[in-house]
């Protein structure tokens, strides 16, 4: 054996030993750092707690953990630690009493990808590969690099390799929903002010909702003697309400532009709520390069963005700065006023993404809640009859108005109970702490993702007497009057409460009463066979798809 061979062998042994020492040291360092974190199940390297949870319904996993670990615990989504806060008192303390500390916006990689605008790197990367084996080898290489990166990352809450798309690929998120700091504050302030200016929560937008409800009633009449799924009609009606605010007019249900908007929104939420979305959120660096429904969805969302940008550029040519007609024009007016401000957040990218946020946040949740409302009326015909009786007594044959709501406590209670029982978003969008924080004797490092487990409030027996039963009495006092409940957090709470809460409440009441005023909902199944348990998904709880029959009521 020659000298060079011995030297090479010893060098490899020494290098291997040094690597093992470094790995041991980093593991020890991580254990020390995480020792003060909230407790939780032990994670598996790279996978975290993925194998322990139902990827279609992670909220069920959180329910089990809250019983075992209490109101604050840690779960690992892949290589990313997430602190979950459960229970009314703990959530109130974090997101209301200490809203500044817990008011940062973390989010899921898929939402971040969509919120960071256009990106051609995936296409160019794949186009440079000669074959699919090259792609497979590249993904394997990424995974190996990720393993090494994860081991040597000394900060547990850092954006680890597998967990976050490369910031070179996509810059800081645009729009109002997932941004932070100055961008979030400026865009949120402008958006709220502008929406109020165009009537959100006021008479002007109420008239738009009433008109859209009237058109929806007319569309439903065409299905009087047939079985149909109301999903698309309801969704397009709700989209049109947002269109009236943002674009300045509604579309006919079969118009291509409405189809484009509807396609982008439905595909986005379909992917977000399915296992492919969950896997992307855990391993975006791998799914980023692979084909699938998520790539089709990204293309549809980009088509939506193209349309909004075209609208903005077209309006800019003939803009009357003294009389903006809708949200887009109001944004353009303010953008022109601040064009010389190098720090302004009013630019085309933020305009396009804020409009996307308004459509995404203002459409799916409202339309899915309405669909679930009518499913519940089919399941509980006696409740449907009581609602219709109150409609007949208070509204009669006239067009429902938002002023009618205070005179209709039972209907109001039913709508609130539908939202509570549906529990559309068990954890809301994720927050993050903006600085190192001590909470319930645990240390939460700056930048850590924090989830408010809203289900723990909505199904708390201390706040609702029959939490696991559908019971409108949860929102009625002993005299039959509507009773507010601090546990009603369907729109979130704290600094990041839903921007469109006032509009959503108006839409739910006016669409719900307008349709029940004119129709009785039934289906071919007996009520006891109707499954009202919302379908679990990676992002929330969705109403199950259903077909229904409608019987026209005589209210003239």
Q: 509: closest CA among 201, 84, 260?
A: 201
Mean of the per-residue pLDDT values of the chain: 85
CATH number of the domain within which 262 lies: 1.10.630.10
- pLDDT higher than threshold 90 for residue 436: yes
Question: How much is the pLDDT for 106?
Answer: 84
Residue 62 lies in a domain: no
For residues 423-431, give the mean pLDDT: 89
Burial class (CB in 10 A: 0-12, 13-18, 19+), 451: buried
Residue 144 lies in a domain: no
Copy the structure tokens of residue 288.
């980023």
First vs last C-alpha separation in the chain: 104
pLDDT in tens, 171-195: 567 888 888 888 888 898 999 898 8
Give the Cα separation of 285 and 275 in Å (integer): 16
How confident is residue 22, by pLDDT bands cut at 50, 70 and 90?
low
Residue 73 lies in a domain: no
Question: How much is the pLDDT for 13?
Answer: 66
Residue 52 lies in a domain: no
Give the Cα separation of 368 and 537 in Å (integer): 14
Q: 355: closest CA among 175, 184, 208?
A: 175
Residue 422 lies in a domain: yes
Q: Which of 17-26, 144-153, 187-196, 251-260 has the highest mean pLDDT?
A: 251-260
| Torsion angle, alpha carbons of 376, 379, 382, 383, to 10 | -10
Which of the residue ranges 220-234, 270-284, 326-340, 404-418 would you say has the lowest mean pLDDT? 270-284
pLDDT in tens, 66-113: 999 999 999 998 888 999 999 999 999 999 999 889 988 887 788 888
Give the Cα separation of 80 and 234 in Å (integer): 37
Residues 426, 61 contacting (CB under 8 angstroms): no
Angstrom distances, CA of residue 27 to CA of 75, 142, 444: 18, 21, 19
Annotated binding site for heme: 498
Q: Which residues contact 376 (CB under 8 A, 6 or more apart)?
A: 383, 418, 421, 470, 532
Residue 84 lies in a domain: no
Annotated binding site: 498
Scanning the structure block, which residue is given the tokens 């929330």? Answer: 540
- Total tally of structural domains belonging to the chain: 1
For residues 209-223, give the mean pLDDT: 97
pTM: 0.86
Alpha-carbon dihedral sign for residues 345, 347, 349, 355: positive
For residues 254-270, give the mean pLDDT: 96
pLDDT in tens, 278-297: 888 888 888 888 999 999 99
Count the neighbouring beta carbons within 10 Å of the beta carbon of residue 260.
16
pLDDT in tens, 338-380: 988 988 888 999 999 999 999 998 899 999 999 999 999 999 9
Residue 455 lies in a domain: yes
Count the neighbouring beta carbons within 10 Å of the beta carbon of residue 22.
12
Burial class (CB in 10 A: 0-12, 13-18, 19+), 154: exposed
Question: How much is the pLDDT for 134?
Answer: 41
Q: Show the domain range for 403.
A: 181-552
Angstrom distances, CA of residue 20 to CA of 11, 14, 47: 14, 10, 22
DSSP H or E stretch at residue 418: helix 409-422
Residues 517, 391 contacting (CB under 8 angstroms): yes
Residue 490 lies in a domain: yes
């Amino acid at each position: 054996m020659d000298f060079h061979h011995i030297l090479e062998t010893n060098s490899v042994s020494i290098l291997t030993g040094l690597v093992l020492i470094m790995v041991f040291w980093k593991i020890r360092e991580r254990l020390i750092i995480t020792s003060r974190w909230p407790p939780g199940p032990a994670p598996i390297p790279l996978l975290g707690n993925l194998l322990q949870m139902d990827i279609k319904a992670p909220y069920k996993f959180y329910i089990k953990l809250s019983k075992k670990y209490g109101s604050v615990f840690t779960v690992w989504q892949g290589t990313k630690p997430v602190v979950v806060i459960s229970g009314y008192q703990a959530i109130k303390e974090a997101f209301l009493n200490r809203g500044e500390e817990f008011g940062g916006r973390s989010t899921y990689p898929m939402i971040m990808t969509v919120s960071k605008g256009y990106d051609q790197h995936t296409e160019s990367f794949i186009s440079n590969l000669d074959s699919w084996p090259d792609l497979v080898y590249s993904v394997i290489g990424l995974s190996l690099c990720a393993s090494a990166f994860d081991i040597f990352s000394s900060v547990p809450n850092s954006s680890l390799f597998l967990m976050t798309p490369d910031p070179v690929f996509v810059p800081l998120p645009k729009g109002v929903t997932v941004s932070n700091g100055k961008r979030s504050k400026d865009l949120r302030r402008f958006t709220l002010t502008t929406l109020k200016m165009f009537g959100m929560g006021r008479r002007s937008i109420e008239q738009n909702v009433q008109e859209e409800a009237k058109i929806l009633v007319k569309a439903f009449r065409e299905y009087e003697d047939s079985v149909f799924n109301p999903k698309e009609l309801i969704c397009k009606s709700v989209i049109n309400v947002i269109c009236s605010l943002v674009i300045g007019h509604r579309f006919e249900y079969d118009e291509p532009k409405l189809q484009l908007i509807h396609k982008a929104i439905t595909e986005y939420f379909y992917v977000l709520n399915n296992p492919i979305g969950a896997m992307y959120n855990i391993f975006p660096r791998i799914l980023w390069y692979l084909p699938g429904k998520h790539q089709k969805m990204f293309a549809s969302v980009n088509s939506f963005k193209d349309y909004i940008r075209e609208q903005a550029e077209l309006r800019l040519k003939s803009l009357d700065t003294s009389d903006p007609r809708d949200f887009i024009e109001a944004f353009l007016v303010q953008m022109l006023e601040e064009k010389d401000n190098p720090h302004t957040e009013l630019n085309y990218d933020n305009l396009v993404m804020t409009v996307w946020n308004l459509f995404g946040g203002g459409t799916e949740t409202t339309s899915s809640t309405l669909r679930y409302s009518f499913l519940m009326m089919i399941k509980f015909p006696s409740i449907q009859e009581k609602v219709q009786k109150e409609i007949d007594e208070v509204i009669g044959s006239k067009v429902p108005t938002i002023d009618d709501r205070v005179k209709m406590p039972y209907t109001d209670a039913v709508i609130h109970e539908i939202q509570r029982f549906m529990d559309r978003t068990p954890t809301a969008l994720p927050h993050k702490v903006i600085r190192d924080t001590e909470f319930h004797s645990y240390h939460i490092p700056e930048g850590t993702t924090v989830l408010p487990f809203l289900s723990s409030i909505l199904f708390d027996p201390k706040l609702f007497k029959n939490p696991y039963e559908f019971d409108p009495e949860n929102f009625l006092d002993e005299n039959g009057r509507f009773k507010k409940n601090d546990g009603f957090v369907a729109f979130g709470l704290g600094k990041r409460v839903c921007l469109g809460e006032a509009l959503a409440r108006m839409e739910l009441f006016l669409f719900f009463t307008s349709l029940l005023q004119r129709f009785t909902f039934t289906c071919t199944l007996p009520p006891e066979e109707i499954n009202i348990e919302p379908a679990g998904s990676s992002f929330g709880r969705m109403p199950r798809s259903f077909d229904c029959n409608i019987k026209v009521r005589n209210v003239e």
